[in-house]
């Protein structure tokens, strides 16, 4: 039996994710991207990102986390980004970008995951972004 407190905590947790995903879409659009949130309300095995964006001929698949000091991205979620781009986007790899995005308070940190790591099965069990980290993806330049 699920307690009412548990239900409220789950609702707050999901609302934070929804807020960050929408905030990212707005930020992307402000920086010249065409972007949309993929409204999947349950963690599924379908290869769908939280947010998909396009700028010029490049496609970006984002996995988004909302946290205070650090965010963890499990390997399974990162692999879903690659599967989405690989199976559903008919472009060369140089135009497809899997990106994890941590919304840490007012700060965003973006980290693009390398295709070679995925192809060689070298993605770690969890990718971690700390608030003090610097990302390797520049939202304004798109790389």
User: What are 108-122's pLDDT values in tens digits?
Assistant: 999 999 999 999 999
Q: Which pLDDT belongs to residue 140?
A: 81
The pTM (predicted TM-score) of the whole model is 0.86
Instruction: Decide if 118 is inside a domain.
Output: yes
Q: Which pLDDT belongs to residue 53?
A: 97
Closest CA relative to residue 97, chosen from 39, 137, 67, 44: 137
Q: Which pLDDT belongs to residue 40?
A: 73
Is the pLDDT confidence value at 100 over 70? yes
Q: Which pLDDT belongs to residue 21?
A: 93
Instruction: Decide if 20 is inside a domain.
Output: yes
Instruction: Decide if 80 is inside a domain.
Output: yes
Q: Which pLDDT belongs to residue 47?
A: 86
Instruction: Decide if 142 is inside a domain.
Output: no
Torsion angle defined by CA atoms of residues 35, 132, 66 and 25, in that order, rounded to the nearest 10 degrees? -10
Check: CB of residue 84 under 8 Å from CB of residue 47.
Answer: yes
Q: Considering its fold, how many domains does the chain have in total?
A: 1
Could you tell me the CATH number of the domain that includes residue 97? 3.40.1350.10
Is 13 or 126 the better-scoring residue by pLDDT?
A: 126
Q: What is the b/e burial string over 102-135, where b = at least 16 CB atoms within 10 angstroms of the residue's CB?
A: bbbeeebbbbebebeebeeeebeeebebeeeeeb
Is 143 or 133 the better-scoring residue by pLDDT?
A: 133
**35 beta partners:** 53
Q: Could you list the residue range(s) of the whole structural domain that residue 83 is in?
A: 4-130
User: What are 3-61's pLDDT values in tens digits?
Assistant: 666 766 555 555 556 789 999 999 999 999 999 999 875 566 788 999 999 999 999 99
Check: CB of residue 1 under 8 Å from CB of residue 13.
Answer: no
Residues 76, 81: Cα–Cα separation, whole Å: 9
Answer positive or negative: Cα dihedral of 138, 89, 61, 119.
Answer: negative
Instruction: Decide if 94 is inside a domain.
Output: yes
């Amino acid at each position: 039996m699920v307690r009412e407190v548990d239900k409220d905590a789950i609702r707050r947790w999901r609302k934070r994710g929804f807020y960050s995903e929408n905030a990212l879409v707005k930020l992307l659009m402000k920086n010249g991207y065409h972007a949309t949130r993929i409204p999947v309300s349950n963690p599924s095995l379908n290869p769908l990102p939280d947010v998909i964006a396009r700028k010029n001929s490049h496609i970006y698949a984002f996995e988004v986390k909302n946290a205070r000091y650090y965010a963890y991205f499990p390997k399974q979620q990162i692999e879903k980004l690659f599967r989405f781009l690989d199976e559903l986007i008919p472009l060369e790899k140089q135009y497809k970008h899997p990106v994890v995005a941590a919304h840490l308070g007012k700060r965003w940190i973006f980290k693009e995951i390398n295709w070679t790591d995925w192809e060689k099965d070298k993605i770690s069990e969890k990718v971690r972004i700390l608030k003090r980290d610097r990302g390797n993806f520049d939202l304004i330049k798109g790389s």
